[in-house]
Amino acid sequence: MFAMPKTAKKIVLVVAAFMAVVFAVFLFNQTTQIVQSARAVNVVFGEGVMWGLIFTYCILLTTPLVLWFRLPKRMLPPETTEGAAYDRFLIDFKKRLSRHPRLRGHALNSTTDIETALQKLDKHADDVVTSTASAVFLSTAVLQSGRLDVLVVFAAQTRLIWQVAHVYYQRPSLRDFVQLYANVASTAFIAAGIEDIDVDVLVGTIFGSTVAAIPGMHLLASSVLSGSANAFLTLRVGMITKEYCRCTVQVEKAGLRRAATVKAAKLLSSIVREGTVKLSKATVSASKMKLSQAFQVVTGRRGKMETS
C-alpha cells in the first residue's frame, strides 16, 4: 500500500531530472547557435548577446526558487465539500484571502462571498494569461525563428507562472511545480520545431493553389501558424497554473488538463483574430512605406536625368 506512492515519486523525480538534462542540452545548443549568428555580425555584439542570455537564464532559473520561498503553499482542500474538515479549511482559506491586497474591503463571511472573491481573482488571472498569450503570439509570429521562439516562450511562461501565483497569493505543490515546468520545457521543444512545418503545402491543402499563390500569403500563414501554436500552449500552461493555485475542491489531474485545453482553445480564437489584424496592418503599412520609398527613388533619379 505504501510502496506505490514512493515508487511514483521516484519515477516523477527521474523523469523530471531527465527532462531537465535534455532541456539544458537543448537550450545550450540553441544558445550557441544564436551567439554564433550574432558574432558573425560583430564580435562585440556577439559577446553582448552571450552575456545577456546568461543573465536572462539566471533570472529565469532563480524565479521558481524565489516563488517557492516567497509565497505560501496552496491550501489543499479535503476530499469532500461537507463536514468539519471542509469547514476548517474554509476558515483558514478565508483568513488567507483576507490578507490578499486585491481583496481588501471585500466581504468574506460566507461561501458565496468566498466564491465571489475567487471569481474576481479568476478574472484578473484570465487577463494576465490572455495578455501574455497575445504577446507570445505577436513575438513569435514576427520573429519567425525557432531558436528565438524558444527563449521567448520559455521566458513568457516562466513569468506567467510567477504572475498567476501572485494573483492567488499561493504557490502550487512541489509535484505540481515539477509538472508545470515540464509543460514549459515541452512547450519550448515544440516552439523550436514549428518553423520546420511546410507552410506552402498546408496553405495549398486548406485554401487551394490560387490562394497559396497570392504574394505574401506564405509569410502571413507562417506567422499566424507559429504565433497561434505558441499562444495556445501558453494559454494552456496559464490555465493549468490557475487551477493549481486557486482550486477549493479536489481536482483530478487528467480532468484538469482537459479542461485547461478546452479553455485555451476558446480563448485562442480572439487572440488569433486580433493578432492577425495587427500583423496584416503592419504588413500593409510596411508595403506602403517600401512603395513610397521606391517611388521617391525613381522620381529622384528621373529629376536628376532631366536636369542633366
Per-residue pLDDT of 194-209, as tens digits, reads 555 554 544 444 444 4
> What is the distance between the terminal CA atoms of the chain, rounded to a whole angstrom?
97
* Percent of the chain whose pLDDT exceeds 70: 72
State how far the Cα of 140 lies from the Cα of 131, in Å rounded to an integer: 14
Scan for cell 506512492, then name that residue.
5
- 13 residue type, one letter: L
- Most confidently predicted of 44-58, 139-153, 202-216: 44-58
Residue 199 cell numbers, joined: 507552410
Phi, psi (rounded to 5 degrees) for 73: -70, 145
What mean pLDDT value characterizes the chain? 75
* Percent of the chain whose pLDDT exceeds 90: 5
* Number of helices (H), then strands (E), in the chain: 10, 0
Phi, psi (rounded to 5 degrees) for 171: -100, 155
Q: What is the mean pLDDT of residues 230-236?
A: 89
Q: What is the mean pLDDT of residues 106-131?
A: 87
Q: Is it the case that residue 131 has pLDDT exceeding 90?
A: yes
Contact 134, 275 (CB under 8 A): yes
Helices 146-168 and 174-193 cross at an angle (nearest 10°) of: 150
State how far the Cα of 243 lies from the Cα of 292, in Å rounded to an integer: 51
Contact 170, 74 (CB under 8 A): yes
Residues recorded for the chain: 308
Q: Is it the case that residue 293 has pLDDT exceeding 70?
A: no
Q: Assign 80 to helix, strand or coil.
A: coil
State how far the Cα of 235 lies from the Cα of 17, in Å rounded to an integer: 25
- Angle, CA of 53, 59 and 63, to the nearest 5°: 145
pTM recorded for the entire structure:
0.69
